[in-house]
Structure formats: C-alpha cells, structure tokens
Amino acid sequence: MASERLDAAVLYATRGWRVIPLHYIRHFSEFATCSCRHGDACKAAGKHPMIASWRKVATTDVSLIRLWWKAWPLANVGLLMGGEARLVTIDIDGEEGRASLAKLEATNGPLPVTLAQVTGRAGGGEHRLFRVPTHLEIDRVRNRVKIAPGIDVRAEGGLIVAAPSIHPTGTRYRWINDKQRVCVMPDWLFKLATSPKARQEVISTHGSRPPEDKLPPLSERAQKAREELVSGRVAPAIQGQNGSRACLHAAIVLIRGCCLPPEVAYDLLWKLYNPLCLPPWSEQELMHKIESAELSVEDVSWGYMIHVDDPSPSGRVYDALLREAQSFGTDAQTLASATPQTVHPVSVAGEAEALYSATRETARRPPPLDDEDGYADDPGDDLTRYDEDGEEIR
C-alpha cells in the first residue's frame, strides 16, 4: 500500500510534475489523526507538506523522491501546481460546485475531457487538471477560492493532494480516468480564473468590504495607513519570530483597517514595510498576505482604523484579530519545524543526514519559475486557512 504512493509519486515526476511528500492520516476515528504534531487537532490532516520550504524543494528528481518515501513510506503525495508542466487544477466541491460548473458549461460550452480525480471528500469533490497553453500568461492564474460557488483554482504556488493519497474520511483520492492526458485549459476558463470580477465576487461573498462611496477619500485612507506603518506599531516580520503573523497583521491593518484596495495596500507594504522585514517577502508572498487579509479574516471588521461604522461589539475586533493571527503563527511554526531534521529521529534515524542534505541541495537549485526566493523561510503561511470541511482555502 505504501509503495503505491511512492510508485505514483515517481510516475508523476516522470511526467514532469513536481512532487512533495505530505503528512498522512495516522489513525481514523471520529477525528482523523494527522502525522504532524497537531495530531487529531490538525485542520488540514493529511494535506500539508512534511518539508519546510516545500514550494522550493518540490521536485521531479526521482532519486530524491525515493529518499523521501523511504523516510516517510506512508506520506501522501502532493503535486505543486504551475511549473514547466503549467498545471492548474480546478477544484469542484460537492453539489454546489457541480451546479456552478453545469451553469458555466451551459454558457460557455462543456469543459474538455481531461485528467480528473475524486478527492474522497464527503459530498463528492473533484479535481480537474489543465495545462495553461503557452500563449496565455500562466502567472495571471492565481490560487483563488470560489471563482464560482464551490469552485476553487489551484495554480502556481498551490498544491493538490493526488491519488492514491488517503483523505481524512479514509477514502482514497482516485483518478477517474488515469489514461487521460492533461488537456489544455480552454480560454473561457482561463478568463474566468483570471478575471477581476471573479475576485470581486469572492470578496462580496465574504461580506462587508464597504463600497468606495461610503468610505473616506482614498488619499486619506492611504495617509492613515502610511502613518500606521511608520509609527512602529506594526511590527516587522522577523524570521523565526512569528514573521508570518506579523506580516498578516500588517496586511490586515491596510486591507481591513484602512479599507485600501489591494493594489494600494500592496504598494505600501512593498515600499514601507517589506524593507523592514528579515528576510523581505517576495512579491507573491505579500500578495498572498493581502489576499488572506481580504478573504479569510471574517471576524475582523472592515474600516476599524478609519471610523467606518463598526457593527461589532467593542473588543471583538481585536480579539478576533489576535486569535486569527495567533492561529496563523502557530501553524506556520509547526510546519516550519517539520523539517527532515526533526521528523527523522522518529522514523529512520540513520538516513537523516543523507535525506536532509539531498533536500537542502534541491532547495539551493534555482527555482523553476520566476519565484525569486521560493518562500523558503515560511512554509506555513498559506496552509492556515481551511473551510468547514477542512479543505484548504487559499
């Protein structure tokens, strides 16, 4: 059973797909127990990488893959999207996702038949893999939650759990049509996955970004944000000191607190905040934090720094902010600690050194795409948000 996962990982690598070992389910009962140190409290049981800086080390190198699965024979198989294979996955969740897809297909024509897997999630989940054709800019496809109700996109920097991994429900991920090739993404789907409108809709489903005409002028808000950033009240992100949490907090101040549009928030973070961080964040990481601030911090009221009406009882906003930030920090730290060094003594002590150096070697190679720093310092930052089914939200 375990070697099936290795075999699959090797097969994927030979297809040019970047593989990464994921934590696995140790024990199934009322709550699935993850192999990470959170155990049955893990919010992404069996779905998150075992290796820090996974975006950077995900590999097509079969010998490294063999080492990994020798160390962790039960590891679930993760596939990093994007890369030379230009992979993008459309994640169709349950009844809602299927209904959305039916609507989209009625308007745009049916999606071409492509490699697809069932995810094992209760209610039925399906991943359909596509290849972004070279004439379209793959960088424009981002990891997005809900491009339509029940439909998410996993693109460069995102990962999927692949067959024959085992889902927390105990069901295996399974290819529906494993002989099928990965088909080219149709233009209409590309448009949908990259349209600002899709983004707008996502925001509105999470309620409450106040409309522009109900807000103070943008210049005032930006000024407020600038003052806040240089005031010393917004802590810079320092590696090893909950940097991920600090950076998210900064993004929340700008996006939620000052209601800045994402582009403006990004500019300010990049110019005023990032130079203070050790090490500085990549462009993509900052954008990711901004997205997190917009989409996932539902309890934090919009405009709490600029005196827009705050309907929440006093205190709640800051409590929620703190809670959210703490959960981000904790998860990030846990993941960061799950490097081969720390996991190894429990599994195969003798080979720890070889595995670690091989992994580190890979990490030193230049990243395959334009990902300039490879997210190496903080692997957990986007593994921290999950919907009620424990599915990862990006």
For the bound state, the minimum distance from the C-beta of residue 41 to Zn ion, rounded and expressed in Å, comes to 9
Sequence letter at residue 90: I
Considering only residues 28 through 57, tell me which ones interact with Zn ion, judged by CB under 5 A.
34, 36, 38, 42
Tokens for 334?
């846990």
Dist CA 289 CA 279 (whole Å)? 15
Instruction: Report the relative pairing of strands 183-184 and 125-131 from DSSP bridges.
Output: parallel
For the bound state, the minimum distance from the C-beta of residue 171 to Zn ion, rounded and expressed in Å, comes to 18
Q: Cβ atoms within 10 A of the Cβ of 192, count?
A: 19
For the bound state, the minimum distance from the C-beta of residue 48 to Zn ion, rounded and expressed in Å, comes to 6
H or E, element range at 196: helix 196-205
Query: How far from 338 is each of 23, 72, 161, 163, 202, CA to CA, in Å?
Result: 10, 12, 18, 23, 32
For the bound state, the minimum distance from the C-beta of residue 24 to Zn ion, rounded and expressed in Å, comes to 9
**CB nearer to Zn ion: pick between 26 and 131:** 26
**CB nearer to Zn ion: pick between 36 and 161:** 36
Find where tokens 């940097």 sit: 243
**CB nearer to Zn ion: pick between 36 and 163:** 36
**CB nearer to Zn ion: pick between 166 and 189:** 166
For the bound state, the minimum distance from the C-beta of residue 381 to Zn ion, rounded and expressed in Å, comes to 15
**CB nearer to Zn ion: pick between 39 and 124:** 39
Give the one residue of 18, 23, 121, 245 binding Zn ion; rule: CB under 5 A: 23
For the bound state, the minimum distance from the C-beta of residue 55 to Zn ion, rounded and expressed in Å, comes to 18
Half-sphere exposure of 59 (CA within 13 A, CB side): 21
Long-range contacts of 37-46 (CB under 8 A, 24+ apart): 37/334, 37/337, 37/338, 38/334, 43/331, 43/384, 43/386, 43/390, 44/383, 44/386, 44/390, 44/392, 45/168, 45/390, 46/22, 46/76, 46/161, 46/165, 46/166, 46/167, 46/168
For the bound state, the minimum distance from the C-beta of residue 36 to Zn ion, rounded and expressed in Å, comes to 3
**CB nearer to Zn ion: pick between 34 and 248:** 34
What's 280's DSSP letter? P
Task: With CA atoms as reference, report the closest residue to 130 among 178, 189, 215, 73.
Answer: 189
**CB nearer to Zn ion: pick between 36 and 215:** 36
Binding residue count for Zn ion, defined by CB under 5 A = 5
Judged by the rule CB under 5 A, the positions of this chain that interact with Zn ion are 23, 34, 36, 38, 42
